[in-house]
Amino acid sequence: MSCTPCVYLVGAGPGDPELLTVKAQRLLQEADVVVYDRLVSPEVLAIVSQGVARICVGKGPGNHSANQQEINRLLVTLARHGRHVVRLKGGDPFVFGRGSEEARHLVRHGIAFEVVPGVTAATACAAYAGIPLTHRGLATGVHFVTGHRHNNEPLDIAWNKLADPQSTIVVYMGLANVDEICTALIAAGLPGTTPAAAIENGTTAAQRRCITMLAELPASVTAQHFAPPVLFVIGKVVALARELDWFSMAEVVGLRADVRRGL
């Protein structure tokens, strides 16, 4: 790394350490300090060189190790002290990761930065659950939305535009508001029989999935005691999940020894 102060906004991917980019792995091994989020897996953190400072600034529902303003200030302080800083985020820094907010703060304080994209949960978790986000004749587009409330306000989503039967809907961070999400989509015209999936701990050895219908999704995740992190995929493509369930089949035939070793 250069001696010029710089913060690397690095995507850690969805959990499986083998989904890290080559560049992300190199930066983790070269860093002086790693500032990481709650959803970064222990297996990814294990790549960080021994003796390197690791600072957890994870945010969970109702439990924030540090608020965003504190994280912004921390990054500037570390960079100005000449540290090689990796800001490690689950998934991709620019997909519901607040990476752009941190980048803007760095720009305002004259700190150089680089963005290292990561595999986002929508593509990875859906793929590991056997769900293609697009498929000819089933889905011609994809919508990524967050199901997380800001300051307990109602979800700010254009439900009428989202409820498109020709598209796939991927909802991040929506478990706490799954009832509102499903009710709103049905009210906007999306049939309650639309295939829907919940994916817990996607891409890891602890992955679970629930394949159901939109109207039954809230009851299904409650009955199966799903807990964060959970991703929802809603749309006709979910109907392919049982046929394309390579991840579970690989476990059955013993092809996931690499996953078990790593995770």
Q: 42 is written with which tokens?
A: 């222990």
Q: Is residue 232 within 8 Å of 178, Cβ to Cβ?
A: yes
For 102-135, the DSSP string reads: HHHHHHHTT-EEEEE----HHHHHHHHTT--S-B
Active-site residue 59, yes or no? Answer: yes
16, 23, 32, 59: the active-site residue: 59
37, 89, 92, 245: the active-site residue: 37
Q: 149 is written with which tokens?
A: 């409330």
Comparing CA positions, the residue from 140, 189, 130, 188 lying closest to residue 168 is 140
Q: What are the residues facing 31 on neighbouring strands? A: none
Q: What are the residues facing 196 on neighbouring strands? A: 212, 234
Tell me the C-alpha distance between 136 and 69, whole Å: 44
How distant, in Å, are the alpha carbons of 57, 86, 126, 127 from that of 172?
20, 24, 12, 15
Active-site residue 92, yes or no? Answer: no
The label of the residue with tokens 């994870």 reads: 58
Tell me the C-alpha distance between 174 and 38, whole Å: 17
DSSP H or E segment with residue 86: strand 84-89
Tell me the C-alpha distance between 39 and 96, whole Å: 13
Q: Are strands 141-146 and 53-56 parallel, antiparallel or unpaired?
A: unpaired
Residues with a known catalytic role: 37, 59
